[in-house]
A and B are shown apart, each in its own frame.
Chain A
């Protein structure tokens, strides 16, 4: 028998970015909030203290801050008629665990969406006609506009101390920023970080191409900063241990550095780490959640009753929890009905590596997670998709989160993997090469979706989440187009040699190669309950006292990294709960 805890106003599943934001907002509103986090509690001191934290074997091989797949993973297959196999070793994507979630070990590239990203389908239809969108492509508009989100996107940047340069301020284009961005109400809280050699070269090459380069907005503090919650951040020292690692310096924005210091002092907030939520409990009508059931640190079952259940467990696990709890109807690709699992998408990421002679001091061990340079000349409405022949935009950027030899050393094509020649190449190239990344949008399709696996179980006896995903022709074409552009630009810089890894025609999704942890969709927001799991406030259409906050809400993935929009949506949902739901609990949008 489960121990039953006293009922609280709200229970939050997961203490990463979205969980921390919702906890802050709802405790501000006076609610009693309990947060359940499956992993351990963590904070800058002592968990990210120098020097122990800058250990490549522990950080990048043992993956000390990332999720262990031992208990929970997903199964993957390329098509609906195949048998899925488990994602046994981490490769393609790396979810987080522990207090801070992936918000602890992300890099910090902090983009807002473009206004046209928010009305994605309508925009494509208007520009190229309905027929331009293939039948199996299930892209949608977000049911919220850029203008509605602007104050919330702004708030997230304030909390993170994002370093950048505005391109459009109150409708007026600014020099040095992204001239194509949506209008902002304010300048970034901090100026851009300094440039590495690679980003300096990017500016040079991009100008050669006629592009409009600008500093990547990065949530890695470029100067001392105090956020609206009173949390202090120190300037990033370019340590080179950003992605995969917790920040030793209070410089990278994370729930740990930017929100938890305030939450931890609050009487109406309770954080229970090492608490694995198994499911959301529903009453007999299946229209109301009564709380959640979790396993405590000792593995004992506990029931936490609550008036509101907030799923903040990361995109994949939000969808999993909805499926195992029986919230909403699972998606069926045959009939194209049901909503949970629908519109799964990912990110189309490729790399171009440039090798130079020894006079070029690229120093890849220097790193600032999210900082560097990029451009939007091939993203959003700047790209003529009609001419390019695919849907969705993308970016090329120079970014250098920091590299050490355990994380791998790039060597020119044709170099053997071992022996004296390999050694020579490694010694010659380590300090004299850098890379550009090519990041593109990923569309959603009828045949790419999430469901429960019929065979494999997690360590708690639940069916694993099953991912049915493969690259479609649209994304392969896009990958070739963008990598080609990046190669063209790279060649203007006269490297000794250059490597590009565009996807080949017919290439399948490879789960062994890290690509990005930008997994999206599966429980999307929309205006139509027949095609979306959540309404425009990220509230479940089926169980209105459940909200699912995260990239699960994206109907497709745009060209940027997701977290800027994820944070903005978290503040947007929190405002709706505070201003509307608490006054009149129930559906915020009539179906």
Chain B
């Protein structure tokens, strides 16, 4: 393909092939992905393989070690089960990788000038890390903690119950991490995972509008005047996304 051939379709398919090829061995080595495979009913089969398999996404923000954490943590926070799709198969890790590269994650709409003082919780976050640094510093600190405590193993290499326990401790802030509050990291991370799970699929997560189907959200229809008075029937239409695709 010459540089003068910018057909988006051609580029897209070439990129997919390259990504698929380069990522296959790495994805297979990720423990979080194995866990997702096992837990997701039907996930390992036809619906989960193929060119748009979310596991074939190549992160451009996160390092490989961080990526392994993300796969595992996403799978613990929103596991695949009978209720609906899990965060991993929904593409939340890809969402996170893309979202971290937006001006929003770089702190564009936050006031970021010092001095940075201690203040009671009612005053919110008063530190100087941007969202993407909270996530990145937090992941590194979690892994450092795990390696120190569990004979060199990273978070992703621990078993599921231990991972859940660590996340629970981080949620309450009981977990002591070097350089960052585990609670701050956890709350921001969970928030981002939920954003990715529920936002429009164009951002990389909520693959096939699976999260919307799970809760019965019609997506971006944005016109309900004909249904406002209906009381005896569930809203009947499936979701539609921003690109106009129906779920």
Contacts and interface: CB of A to CB of B under 8 A. Distances in A.
Contacts of A195: 228-229
Interface residues of B, number: 60
Interface in A68-127: 68-70, 73, 76, 78, 83, 85-91
Nearest to A403: B217
A236 B225 contact: yes
Contact of A420 (B79, B115, B218): B79
B222 A50 contact: yes
Contacts of B84: 423, 427
Contact of A457 (B102, B113, B123, B124): B113
B110 A248 contact: no
Contacts of B181: none
Interface stretch (A52-60, A374-382, A489-497, A525-533): A52-60
A511 B218 contact: no
A283 B3 CA distance: 63
A470 B234 CA distance: 44
Nearest to A235: B225
A62 B78 contact: no
A383 interface: no
B242 interface: yes
Contacts of B113: 86, 456-457
Nearest to B99: A57
The prevalent SS among residues of B at the interface is loop
Interface stretch (A26-34, A225-233, A360-368): A360-368
Contacts of B199: 56-57, 61, 406
Interface stretch (A7-15, A182-190, A237-245, A478-486): A237-245
A457 B79 CA distance: 45
Contact of B125 (A55, A89, A366, A427): A89
A227 B119 CA distance: 49
Interface in B188-247: 190, 193-195, 198-200, 203, 211-212, 214-218, 220, 222-225, 227-235, 242, 244
A238 B228 contact: yes
Given A418-B78, A419-B79, A88 B217 contact: no
Given A56-B199, A430-B216, A418 B190 contact: yes
7 smallest A-B Cβ distances: which pairs? A405-B198, A239-B222, A430-B215, A366-B224, A57-B199, A510-B122, A512-B124
Contact of B195 (A57, A366, A456, A510): A57
Contacts of B203: 57
A512 B84 CA distance: 31
A509 B122 CA distance: 7
B99 to A, nearest CB: 8
B122 A406 contact: no
Nearest to B230: A361
A193 to B, nearest CB: 9
A406 B78 contact: no
Contact of A57 (B78, B107, B200): B200
Given A73-B111, A76-B123, A417-B190, A406 B223 contact: no
B53 interface: no
A406 B230 contact: no
Contacts of B167: 418
Contact of A426 (B109, B164, B215, B231): B215
B217 A430 contact: yes
Nearest to B114: A456
A406 B198 contact: yes
18 contacts: A55-B200, A62-B109, A68-B109, A70-B108, A83-B117, A237-B223, A237-B224, A238-B223, A361-B232, A361-B234, A417-B171, A418-B76, A419-B76, A423-B214, A426-B215, A430-B216, A431-B216, A455-B115
Given A51-B242, A194-B229, A238 B224 contact: yes
Contacts of A580: none
A409 interface: yes
B117 A85 contact: yes
Given A54-B220, A239-B222, A363-B227, A90 B211 contact: no
Contacts of A420: 79, 81, 83
A361 B195 contact: no
Contacts of A57: 195, 199-200, 203
Given A405-B212, A406-B194, A509-B122, 5 more contacts: A51-B244, A86-B113, A417-B190, A427-B83, A431-B215
B77 interface: yes
Contact of B235 (A83, A424, A431): A431
B175 to A, nearest CB: 15
B50 interface: no
A365 B217 contact: yes
Given A238-B225, A419-B77, A87 B111 contact: yes
B169 interface: no
A508 interface: yes
B195 A406 contact: yes
Nearest to A510: B122
A62 B235 CA distance: 29
A40 interface: no
Contact of A88 (B83, B125, B222): B125
B120 interface: yes
Interface string A437-464: 0000000000000000001110000000
Interface residues of A, number: 64
B222 A54 contact: yes
A156 interface: no
Nearest to A457: B113
B150 interface: no
B24 interface: no
B79 A62 contact: no
A414 B175 CA distance: 22
A417 B171 CA distance: 9
Contact of A241 (B81, B107, B216, B222): B222
B212 A508 contact: no
Contacts of A54: 220, 222, 242
A508 B125 contact: no
A63 B109 CA distance: 8
A197 interface: yes
A240 B171 CA distance: 32
A196 interface: yes
Nearest to B123: A85
B49 interface: no
Interface in B106-142: 107-113, 115, 117, 119-126
A404 interface: yes
A56 B201 CA distance: 12
Interface in A185-207: 194-197
A70 to B, nearest CB: 6
Contacts of B233: 361
Contacts of B222: 50-51, 54, 237, 239-241, 248
Given A55-B242, A194-B228, A406-B195, A363 B223 contact: no
A426 B77 CA distance: 14
Contacts of A417: 171, 190
Contacts of B223: 237-239
B73 to A, nearest CB: 10
Contacts of B234: 361, 431
Most buried by B among A69, A361, A365: A365
A406 B194 CA distance: 7
A61 B233 CA distance: 32
Contacts of A368: 228
A68 B113 CA distance: 14
Interface string A537-577: 00000000000000000000000000000000000000000
